[in-house]
Structure formats: C-alpha cells, structure tokens
Chains A and B, each alone.
Chain A
Amino acid sequence: MWKWLHPYAKTERAYQLCLTLQPWFWAGALLCLSIGTVWGLAFAPQDYQQGDSFRIIYIHVPSAILSMGTYVAMAIAALVGMVWQWRTAYMSMIAMAPIGAVMTFIALFTGAAWGKPMWGAWWVWDARLTSELILLFLYMGVIALYGAFEDKQQAGKAAGVMALVGVVNIPIIHYSVEWWNTLHQGATISKFDNPSIAPEMLWPLLINLLGFAFFIGAVTTVRLRNEIVLREMHRPWVQTLAEQQLANSQQKRAASQKSMKEGN
C-alpha cells in the first residue's frame, strides 16, 4: 500500500489526481444534492410533530456530520504531515479547512433557523450548540495560524498541531447530547441497527449526506490545486501548466466573443 500511496506525496502527482477526481466529485455533488433536496423538500412525508419545519434536517444533519468528518480528515492529514514530513499532507490540510468552516457555519445557521420555530429561541448555550461553535473557532484558528506564518512549512506544522489538539472536541460534540441535559435531540441515524426515522424520510437524508460529501471533495480538490500552484510557483511544470491553461481560456474567450459578434 505504501508503494502505491507514496508517489502522491509529490505535488505533481497530487495535482493530477485532483484533476482526475474533480469532475466525478462535481457531478456526484450536483446529482445527489438535487435529488436529495427535491425529494426532501417536496416528497418526503411531514413530521407528525414538527410539520414541515423538519425539512431543514436535509441540510442540517449532513452539514453537521460532515463538519466533524472534515475536521477528522484535516487532523489525519496533519498527523501524516508530521509523521512522514509530507508537504502535500499539510497542503491538503489547509485546503480542507475553509470548506469545513463553511459546513460548520451551515450547521449552526440552519440549526438556529430550526430552533427558532421549534424551541422558541435562535440560540441557547447548550452543550451541543456550544461545542459546535467551538468547532467553528477551531477551523478559524487553523486558517488564521496558517496565514500568520511567512514560511509555509512552519505554518503547516503550527496549524497541524492546533488541528490535532482540536480533535478532542469531536467526541465532545458527538456525546454532548448524552453527557449533558440539552435541548438538542439525540442521535437519529448513527444508530444503524435501529434508526429512529422512517425509511421514506431517511433515504433523501442519506442521499444529501452523500451529496455534501461529494461537494466537500470537489472544493477540496480545487483548493488543493490552488495550494500546490501557490507553493510550487517556481517549478517548471507549474509554469508550463499556467501558460497552457491561460492560453486555453483566452482562446475560449476570443471564440465566444467572435460568436457573439456573428450573432449580432
């Protein structure tokens, strides 16, 4: 496995891998998100207690689960960077941080918009909500710390340590609904043997979960490519790549202008 994995530590191979994966991720995200969202909004049955407000679940739960999942992925990347001294691992760590922060923001925001009609409050300082807010601050801390260093190798190490220490927060978020008395309801779908949700409600939720995962993958591949170009700016392969791509986009622009003129 190591023999197979090792070439991807090279930035050029990692860049190519991102290029190959990217279209699949975008297609998967578009497909799953449109099916899951339309299904969840229009075709899933109403909740007997919460009426139609429960439909927020179709974005709230996937974004909340994946805000934690992305954090764990980020921390694993930081660990790999530290143990094997892979620069590419730090790059993927920092590529994942912004999209993870966006997922956390979405989870918090949709939670607030769900809490207002159901609990009567946009925000309460309860264990689940507070620990998720801390997760947002952890993401911001990693991004800010990385940005604070001029030397990006140093930046990767410092931000990596912070990402690793922050992993402590993940089990706290997960078990917060059991350890403390909270307004937030308990786990619904992570009890796979006996999920407390009807299958016709569960399916769109799982599809949207997959869609969010694809979306995170897609944005990560774009951002990892950005990071590689930024860090390897002086490598010949990046320079030829930049020239080629810019020439391509200029050609396209010229062609579209030409067709517009002909149309007029």
Chain B
Amino acid sequence: MQFESFAAFINMGGYAFYVWLSFGVTFVAMGIIAIQSFFKHQNLLKQVVVEQERKARIKRARKQQQAST
C-alpha cells in the first residue's frame, strides 16, 4: 500500500477531486452501457413474442371471416 492511512488514500495527495471524478465517471459510463444493452435484450425478446401473438391473431380473424362468408 502506497498510502499511510485510509484518509490519505481518499485524499489522493490533494488530487482527490480529479482522480475520483475520473474513476467515478468511467465506471458509471461503463455500467450504463452494459445495463442498457441487457435491458434492450429483454425488451426485444418481449417484442418478438408480442409480434408472434399479433400474427396469430390476424390469422385467426381471417379464418373466422372465411368461415362466415
């Protein structure tokens, strides 16, 4: 460990603001892109299922129409 105490570690030799700002923004940005990609995957899968149901519904409606005429 290069620092004598935890407080010195947080203080970063007087550069605390710049160092922690950089590391904070970096990992927040990486977290956002990772989480956004995962949520998009879930939404897309739901979209696929909804689309399938819609198609099935249209097919059924057509069949009914044909049967009634």
Contact = CB atoms under 8 A, between A and B. Distances in A.
Interface string A68-102: 00000000000000000000000000000011001
Given A43-B2, A46-B13, A105-B29, A229 B44 contact: yes
B15 A226 contact: no
Contacts of A116: 18
Interface residues on B, range: 20 to 34
Nearest to A60: B22
A241 B19 CA distance: 44
B40 interface: yes
For the residues of A in contact with B, the DSSP-based class is: helix
Contact of B3 (A42, A98, A113, A249): A42
Given A226-B37, A242-B45, A249-B42, A114 B22 contact: yes
B7 interface: no
Interface stretch (A1-9, A49-57, A139-147, A188-196): A49-57
B48 A233 contact: yes
Residue among B2, B13, B37 with the most chain A CB within 10 A?
A: B37
A11 interface: no
Interface string A196-231: 000000000000000000010011001101100110
Nearest to A243: B49
Interface string A21-38: 000000000000000010
